[in-house]
Structure 1
Amino acid sequence: MSARRFERLLCVAATLSCMAAAQADGNTLVYCSEGNPESLNPQRILSGTARNATTTTIYDRLVDFQPGTTKVVPALAESWTVSPDQKTYEFTLRRGVKFHSTAFFKPSRDFNADDVLFSFNRQLKTDHPFHMVGGGNYQYFQGMGMDKLIVSISRVDDYKIRIVLNKPEAPFLANLAMPFMSILSAEYGAQLQQAGRAADIDMQAIGTGPYAFKSYQQDSTIRYVAHPQHWRGKPQVQNLVFAITPDASVRLQKLRKGECQIAVSPAPADLPLIKQDQRLVLAEQDGMNIGYLAMNVEKPPFNNPLVRRAIAHALNKQSYIDAIYLGNARQAINPYPSTMWAYNDQVRTYSYDPAKAKALLAQAGFKDGFRTTLWTLPVSRPYNPNGRKMGEMMQADLAKVGIKVELTSYDWGTYLDKVKRGEHEMVQLGWTGDNGDPDNFLYTLLSCDSVTRGSNNSRYCKGDFNALISKARTTDDLAARTEMYRKALAVLSEDVPIVPIAHSKVFRALSSRVVGYKMNPFDMDYFSALGLKDR
């Protein structure tokens, strides 16, 4: 037997042992996740996979969202004030908040203002000792323009900080509740820097959250243990295990065997089975999400809006919804669903029309079509449960109008990294809202700021569109913001840098033993309030 095969067998044995222990241990909750997190620091992540592995486990923020809602509530900041010009925020910090004590770090003090400055300035200041750790790329912070918005962050005293903005920013408070504004330990950072191990801050994580990080084995498990001194109280379940399980059918098998108690993103075809199984519970809600096809407008022929319109007409979106989502989604017109304010259905739309697609291609100078590549999503996400199958259907649709498509994919982390670098031509991706504001879709996914530093996967930068979404951020007048976003959506529909495909329902499959579970509009799971009933 080869050494490599022996190592694999040991890994499998260890995983099975872990799952068997989880079945027997009523104080362990196993969460079947769909992939590896790209980091254990929310400042450096983009995927929903990583948000669940970090944001509601290891870390807290100054403010948070009330569970199940988009309402901003106090967290590490117990109160705040805003100046009349809406450019200065002062936060009074909560006292007595404890950082995690682990095998690799023992804190000597409680959370205070120094930790807030350390966490925020790492992203803001290029001369911060940790700014370049990991490459200096903070896609949310930079892509949302926070580095341009924030003038300064200062320490008033141990338990008060002041943030000064260069202009009013309507969604600023809600943005502070997002994962990338999580609070790290300045003391831990100093310890790592002194030891020459600064990079460990992003993978051997320390926070103040309800669960402390214990260990991570890629493609297998992440382990956490309850933080006994969490400021909201100790979690009900002592041990939390993420079982990394990319295949949706395998996640369901594990759930039915009792090897995990929550499974993310069950396959649409399995939903009836889950509903029929009395040992399981299916939680569902309309998702605040978008699944889309992005075309890299920096690369010919996708720099031609006629080509992009042709592709939009060539794609049979309803067939994808029928075959892949099994009807558990709605066709998308805007980059966000109609449940959000500032939705606009009075824009240019693209019905399935191969003849019109061919005519547009001929007008663009591609009468005989062209060759290109399409990257298919490598993990199942609520906004796209089966990227490969959707890719094959898109490939067939585009072949009908003369566009010959080669399909390709990569592991999740590589996929995101290569897209960030703009190496793709066409790519499947999606987004789940982080704060309930249209800005989180339009600015994050389509602004000029987010082309090279954020999540603008089409690399679209259009002056009139960018001016509208930028101006909309500077007022809290809801009617004025709504009008600006509606105008921006009209511009976007003419340019069509992305083809919105679907807004999907979001599902979780749970063991009937789980108590206290509440779905979240941002597709994040909160664990501290969960308990397990005896069998």
Structure 2
Amino acid sequence: MRHILRLGAASIIALSTAAGVLAQDLADNQVVRIGVGVDDIRTIDPHFSVGTGEWPIFAAVYEAMVRFPKGTMDAAELQPALATAWEVDESGEVWTFTLREGVQWHHGYGPFTADDVVFTLERVRDADNPSPHAGLLDPVLSVEAVDDLTVRITTDGVVPNLPALLVNNNIGYIMSRAAAEDGIDARTHPIGTGPFQHEGYRARESFSLAANPDYWGGVPTVERLVVQFMPDAATRELALIAGEIHASDIPARQDAVDRMRSNGMEVDLTAPANMFTLHMNMSLDPISDPSVREALALGTDRAALANFFGADLAYVENSPLPAGYIGHTEDVRQLDFDPDRARELLAEAGHGDGLSLSVAMSNSDIYLPPMQVIQEMWRNIGVDLQLNVVDHPTYHRVIRENQNPVVLYGAFRYPLDGTVYLTQFFHSEAAIGQPGAITNFSHLGQIGPSVDELIEEAQFELDEERQIELWAEAQRVIMDEIAVVPLYTRNYALARSPRLDLGFETKSRSIYEVTEDARLLR
């Protein structure tokens, strides 16, 4: 059986001015400024970036073979981008992608070809320097350039969602072989095919992009896109209200949402969003004691944490795999709030006179306030939690140096199933300190039981019911061990000036996507 998807270019190319907006309605100055809640970039190499503040930069520069509909992360409605069509043969293991003709790399690096796709996917899977997102491509056996505009990808078994793995989300972004061989540093100087191209970078200040005059999808109306690094939420809010920036992420709290609306800003609440979890570092005392882990879990009022942000903005999570992901189950050990039992467990563990913990904590308005709430909750059960507040980049460094006994971490992982999420947080090879370290802060698999076999079997399981059960069993093991304490999922909150017309509704992502459709109105 052959599966073919062909969509015309007209389905994804928007006119520079939409119906109902006349040229005289456009602002004379088409410079869009976006505020992001980081103090600087770590890298804008999409294959290695794990930061949300970097995403609007590389998303405006790079493109993938396949893309989500703009403003969404809907894998059921994939659209052509650098590929115009794709099909799989009758075995279900050989995919052929037909590439878009006439696409040019920025700054004179020549035409986009199949060789760039081969280079990109080999780069992601480089065993000596693998991307932290490389696990998505584990089923890929080979990538071949059939000719300049045709790519053949062969997989180990049937992978029906392969196009969804190659979408505009980190590993899907295609990079120029010629730029890489020319020594261009992708960490700070991206070369892509998208509607905007690198113009300049000022450390700890801003990253500026200029409109790509040769963009295959049409020349953008916006002449420049400036991403400004603004780690302080109050500063971003004031700058937005004052008209100094046109859009920003804002704290996902009801008061922030109401404040923006009262000042005439448009607010977008988006999902899927980060689930926040307390990772219990079982390699450090006293967290190595399961009674202590259980006490901390029972001393955490997760419903109160969700209500802290507002009823419309957050909801309680009960399992290590977020609700809404394929494979999520509630059939796991439940850790309902019980401070009396928490105090008893601490006493039984030899901490009847109290317990002191010290952790580094990010100054981010996403991390610090909820951790301060947890600090008060734990004080009520006899735990003195000392918060050593550091900037957000330092926090990410410290938690990867295995210094925190507990780690607060918010994460969203694509695709929305157990494949990536469970691998990155609970596979033993992803444990902090390992060569393939990602975000296994609990050290599960190195300490206590392992879910490696369950995760690996599920990744290649074609029977969906069996796959879901494997993921469910992994979640039960994780919760029985109390390797983590699931807390809440918090929708993203974004605000923008009514003058910024993106050209589509923003339903997903944690920061605004600026494309060739965007324009500033008077």
Task: Give the TM bin, normalised by the shorter chain.
Answer: 0.7 to 0.9
Q: Map 1:518-529 onto structure 2 (within 5 A).
A: 518-529=505-516
Superposition map of 1:376-525 within 5 A: 376-380=361-365, 385=366, 387-451=367-431, 452=434, 453=436, 454-461=438-445, 465-515=451-501, 516-525=503-512
1:316-353 Cα shifts (integer Å, max 9, x gaps): 22333333457621111124443333332232211221
Residues in 2 aligned to 1:417 and 1:290: alpha-carbon distance in whole angstroms: 20
- Range that drifts further, 501-510 or 366-375: 366-375
Q: Judging changes above 3 Å, is the alpha-carbon distance between structure 1 residues 375 and 228 closer, same or farther for their aligned structure 2 residues? A: same
Q: What is the match of residue 15 of structure 1?
A: none
Letter in 2 for 1:46: V
Residues 1:441 and 1:124: Cα distance change in structure 2 (over 3 Å): closer
Aligned mates of 1:201, 1:99 — CA distance in 2:
14
Q: CA deviation at 1:455?
A: 2.5
Residue from 251, 256, 266 that aligns with 1:270: 256
Establish whether residue 82 from structure 1 lines up as the match of residue 88 from structure 2.
Answer: yes
Deviates more, 1:259-268 or 1:42-51: 259-268
Q: How does 1:32-181 map to 2 (within 5 A)?
A: 32-35=35-38, 36-54=40-58, 56-67=59-70, 68=72, 69-71=74-76, 72-101=78-107, 106-107=108-109, 109-126=110-127, 136=129, 138-141=131-134, 144=135, 146=137, 148-169=138-159, 171-177=161-167, 178-181=169-172
Give the 3 Å change call, closer, same or farther, for CA 289–29 of structure 1 in structure 2: same
Gap change, CA 1:362 and 1:414, over 3 Å in 2:
same
In 1, Cα distance between equivalents of 2:28 and 2:387: 44
AA of the residue aligned to 1:475: E
Post-superposition Cα deviations, 1:279-334, rounded to whole Å, max 9, x if no partner, equal: x2111234432011112222233233332222111112233333345762111112
- Whole-Å Cα distance in 2 between the matches of residues 344 and 90 of structure 1? 36
Q: Judging changes above 3 Å, is the alpha-carbon distance between structure 1 residues 149 and 361 closer, same or farther for their aligned structure 2 residues?
A: farther
Is the 1:140–1:180 Cα contact (8 Å) retained in structure 2? Answer: yes
Residue 367 of structure 1 deviates from its aligned partner by 4.1
Q: How many residues align?
A: 484
Percent identity over the alignment is: 23
Matched with 1:14 is: none
1:34-88 deviation per Cα after TM superposition (whole angstroms, max 9, x unaligned): 112211111111122222221x211111222222223333222222233445443
The 3-state SS of whatever aligns with 2:47 is helix
TM-score (norm: length of structure 2): 0.85
For the 8 Å contact 1:117–1:154, the answer to whether it is kept is yes
In the TM superposition, residue 431 of structure 1 has moved relative to its aligned partner by: 0.6
Q: Which amino acid aligns with 1:346?
A: D
- How do 1:328-343 and structure 2 match up within 5 A? 328-343=313-328
Contact 1:170–1:474 (8 Å) recurs in 2 = no
Equivalent position SS for 1:376:
strand
Partner of 2:294: 309
How big is the shift at 1:252?
1.4
Deviation at 1:225, TM superposition (A): 0.9
Comparing 429-438 with 454-463, greater Cα deviation is found at 454-463
Amino acid aligned to 1:459: H
Q: Aligned-pair distance for 1:167?
A: 4.4
Q: Distance in 2 between matches of 1:442 and 1:42?
A: 21
Q: Deviations over 1:455-506 (max 9, x none)?
A: 2232322766332222222134433333332332222221221211111122
Output one character per residue of 1:207-237: Cα deviation in whole Å (capped at 9) or x when no partner: 1122111111122111011112222222231
Distance 1:184 1:498, change over 3 A: same
Query: Are the aligned partners of 2:237 and 2:250 in contact in 1 as well (CA < 8 Å)?
Result: no
Unaligned runs of 5+ in 1: 1-22, 193-197
d(CA) in 1 for partners of 2:165 and 2:321?
Answer: 17
CA distance in 2, matches of 1:81, 1:431: 32
Structure 2: distance between partners of 1:240 and 1:309: 48
1:250-298 deviation line (CA, Å, top 9, x unaligned): 11111111111111124622221222233x2111234432011112222
Cα distance between partner residues in 1 of 2:218 and 2:42: 29
Partner of 1:292: 277
Measured after TM superposition, the shift of residue 442 of structure 1 is 1.9
Specify the SS of the correspondent of 2:231. coil
Q: Tell me the distance in 1 between the aligned counterparts of 2:409 and 2:315.
A: 17
Amino acid at match of 1:32: G
Contact 1:113–1:160 under 8 Å retained in 2: yes
Query: For 1:167 and 1:375, how far apart are their aligned partners in 2?
Result: 44
Instruction: Assess, with a 3 A threshold, how the Cα gap between structure 1 residues 32 and 497 changes in structure 2: closer, same or farther.
Output: same
C-alpha distance in structure 1 between counterparts of 2:469 and 2:390, whole Å: 40
Aligned-residue RMSD, C-alpha:
2.6
Is contact 1:433–1:522 with CA below 8 Å preserved after alignment? Answer: no
1:28 maps onto 2:28 in alignment? no
| Larger helix proportion of the pair | 1
Q: Tell me the alpha carbon deviations over residues 160-219 of structure 1, each in whole angstroms, 9 at most, x when there is no partner.
A: 223333444565432222213321111111111xxxxx6x23211111122111111122
Contact conserved, 2:320 with 2:479, CA < 8 A, in 1? no
- Corresponding letter in the other structure for 1:457: F
Structure 1, 39-48 or 427-436: larger mean CA deviation: 427-436
1:367–1:175 CA distance, 2 compared to 1 (3 A): farther
